[in-house]
Structure 1
Amino acid sequence: MGYIYPGRPIANLVFKALTISTQSHALSFFSEFKLAHYMKIAPRSMFVAQVTGTTISSIVSVAASWWLLSAVENICVLEKLPKGSPWTCPGMTVTYDNSVIWGVVGPMRIYYPDGVYSKLLYFFLIGGIAPLLIWALSKYFPEKKWIKSINIPNILGGASVLLIARAVNYWSWITVGVLFTVIIYNKYKDWWTKYNYVLANGLDLGVAFQSLLTSATLQINGDMITR
């Protein structure tokens, strides 16, 4: 969209909302269907649960946003907020930065033809050739069964979801990954088969519930709410 409408940040935001967000939600739906398959949940029941949850979360998110905008004085305005206020809206800052980078500056000045990062576009070619290379190696060395297990989309896609944070977050991610996908998988495969995905979703739900509980009990108080 930055190439089609250069210098138009709003058009870029709308395009992102209608394409990238929709794609990410669709991929999440598919991953949940895979989990339901392992747990022997009927696809129709899973789809109903997904649609119901999405509908409820959308309504709650919009309602909570409107309530906060009307209840918290100077929300998202860093210059007028008191020191230490949690209502700085970091997500809004990221969205604004994206609209400036891809809508105002534009990919022409970042990548091709005038950008200093134009060589990064070669990775599109690398991403297309790498799976073919793995396939060719598996045919040339049929006795090496492990070559077929190399999945380039998973390797590159997994790197895209790494935390944008400090080194301690990476070590936590690596520790949990090695523990459950190497040690427990090899030594306690029956437990891993039965409970690994359930535990993963339980941890995600725990983080979401704890965030909601923390916001409701610690971050919202009389000093922050004006009416």
Structure 2
Amino acid sequence: MIPTGVIVAVTNMTFVLGVPIDVLSSVILPGNPIGFLTLRTYTNSCQHLIINFLISFKIAHYMKIPPRITFYMLLICPMVAGIVQYITAIYLLNHVPNICTHENPSWKCLYVETLYIIDFMECSFVKTFGVGSIYFPLLFGLLLGLVLPIISWFLWKKFPNIKWLAFIHFPMILVATNNVPPAPAGEYTTWFLVGFIFNLILYRYAHAWWEKYAYVFSAAMSCGVAICGFIIFITLQNNNIKFPEWWGTGGPTRDGCPLEIANYSGYVVTD
């Protein structure tokens, strides 16, 4: 908890030890998806929630909100949110046809699908990622993630006159890919582009504007996405009004990729 909390405080990137915990749980409880999810809940999920809890305290401290009031609200709000989410989930399951299936692209439940796949893949980690399996090469990504920061640090020390080497931070670049499943891959490039514009170009050439509006603009974009999603659901999806068809919404699941539901060989299984 302390190392990950320090990383979050320094880099502003929420990072939890998901992969090591998943591997450990799959070794301790092989072939037991219920046990795997239980251990994941008490470790990975709790760690993530604790970090968010501390982040909320930090924001409240900056806003001069008394700690006791903040603590009470952080206890009451999750209870209310949990009840509302449960009621909403029951309502959607009973009223949305083919929810969480590929037959209903508007309600694919990507996070649930990703968690389902992770559950069955990593609860038998040795078989899924063992030598000779199709997923075995993915393990080299762990080695690559270990080596890349060392290489960038060595180059920065070796060539101190090259200023841009100091801005290469592979852990921050790679940790952002944690949300690619279930988030579409296009969001990763969008994140990189927006970050490059705001935290390099505007920070360097319009620092006064960046200092005054950057964080406000970031919060406005986050709130805008939430409000836009709510409006789209109430006004369009709830009235069976479909989104216009164009090249960016093609494919079997309307994400612009015709092979989105294909297997690892590139074939779309129809039955």
**What's the counterpart of residue 212 of structure 2?**
194
**What's the counterpart of residue 130 of structure 2?**
112
**What's the counterpart of residue 154 of structure 1?**
172
- 1:5/1:216 CA distance change after superposition, 3 Å: same
| CA drift at 1:173 | 3.5
Query: Does the CA contact (< 8 Å) of 1:107 and 1:115 recur in 2?
Result: no
**What's the counterpart of residue 99 of structure 1?**
119
1:5 and 2:29 equivalent?
Answer: yes
Greater Cα shift, 141-150 or 121-130: 141-150
Q: 1:41 aligns with which of 63, 66, 76?
A: 63
**What's the counterpart of residue 198 of structure 2?**
180
Alpha-carbon distance in structure 2 between the residues aligned to 1:131 and 1:73? 46
- 1:54/1:198 CA distance change after superposition, 3 Å: farther
Q: 2:42 aligns with which of 18, 22, 40?
A: 18
1:216 and 2:234 equivalent?
Answer: yes
Question: Aligned residues: percent identity?
Answer: 26
| CA drift at 1:186 | 1.6
- 1:211 is aligned with what amino acid? G
- 1:5 is aligned with what amino acid? L
Tell me: higher relative CO, structure 1 or 2? Use CA pairs within 8 A at least 6 residues apart. Answer: 1
Alpha-carbon distance in structure 2 between the residues aligned to 1:141 and 1:85? 50
| CA drift at 1:209 | 1.8
| CA drift at 1:118 | 3.5
Alpha-carbon distance in structure 2 between the residues aligned to 1:29 and 1:111? 34
| CA drift at 1:154 | 1.3
Unpaired stretches in structure 1, ≥5 consecutive residues: 223-227
Q: 1:165 aligns with which of 172, 180, 184?
A: 184
RMSD across aligned C-alpha pairs, in angstroms? Answer: 3.9
Unpaired stretches in structure 2, ≥5 consecutive residues: 1-24, 241-271
| CA drift at 1:72 | 1.1
Deviation track 1:82-110 (CA, whole Å, cap 9, x = no partner) reads: x768455444433333332223xx21122
Deviation track 1:144-172 (CA, whole Å, cap 9, x = no partner) reads: 665554433212213434574365x5554
| CA drift at 1:111 | 1.8
SS of 1:3's equivalent? helix
- 1:96/1:171 CA distance change after superposition, 3 Å: closer
Query: Does the CA contact (< 8 Å) of 2:98 and 2:104 recur in 1?
Result: no
Q: Return the TM-score normalized by structure 2.
A: 0.59
Alpha-carbon distance in structure 2 between the residues aligned to 1:93 and 1:51? 29
1:72 and 2:122 equivalent?
Answer: no
Alpha-carbon distance in structure 1 between the residues aligned to 2:160 and 2:65? 36
- 1:111/1:84 CA distance change after superposition, 3 Å: closer
| CA drift at 1:196 | 0.9
Alpha-carbon distance in structure 1 between the residues aligned to 2:157 and 2:115? 46
- 1:127/1:43 CA distance change after superposition, 3 Å: farther
Alpha-carbon distance in structure 2 between the residues aligned to 1:77 and 1:156? 29
Alpha-carbon distance in structure 2 between the residues aligned to 1:142 and 1:182? 20
Map 1:114-129 to 2 at 5 A. 115-129=133-147
Alpha-carbon distance in structure 2 between the residues aligned to 1:30 and 1:171? 29
| CA drift at 1:207 | 0.9
Query: Does the CA contact (< 8 Å) of 2:97 and 2:104 recur in 1?
Result: no
